[in-house]
Amino acid sequence: MIEVNEALIKKVAELSRLELNDSEIQEYVKSIGDILKHVDQLATVDVTGVEPMYYGVDGPLKLREDEVHAFPTDENGKPKVLQSAPEVLYDGFKVPQII
């Protein structure tokens, strides 16, 4: 198992562009160390003869028909969700330009 220490956490934080204080570093040393101990424990389990699981459920998935529901509108025919928008543009939420 890899040794989780302050130097490793600081290096990962630096590569991730995270600023961690000393208490956060100590917290991560403990929690990541605990996770890796658990993974090591799982690696010792004998799984010979166990079929791999490809899906989270056994058997075919139950599908349902798509249903179209009307979007709630106000008395002017505008979507009600826009009433909580800080700014509206073309019957939609106005957002800052990215490019």
How many other C-beta atoms can be found within 10 angstroms of the C-beta atom of residue 4?
A: 19
pTM over 0.85: no
Domain that holds residue 24: 6-43
Q: What pLDDT was estimated at residue 79?
A: 87
| Distance between start and end Cα atoms, the chain | 45
Q: Is residue 85 part of a domain?
A: no
Give the pLDDT of residue 40: 92
Is 64 within a domain? no
State pLDDT tens for residues 11-50.
999 999 999 999 999 999 999 999 999 999 999 999 999 9
In a domain, 32, yes or no: yes
Per-residue pLDDT, 52: 87
Task: Please report the pLDDT score of residue 71 as a whole number.
Answer: 84
% of residues, the chain, pLDDT over 90: 56
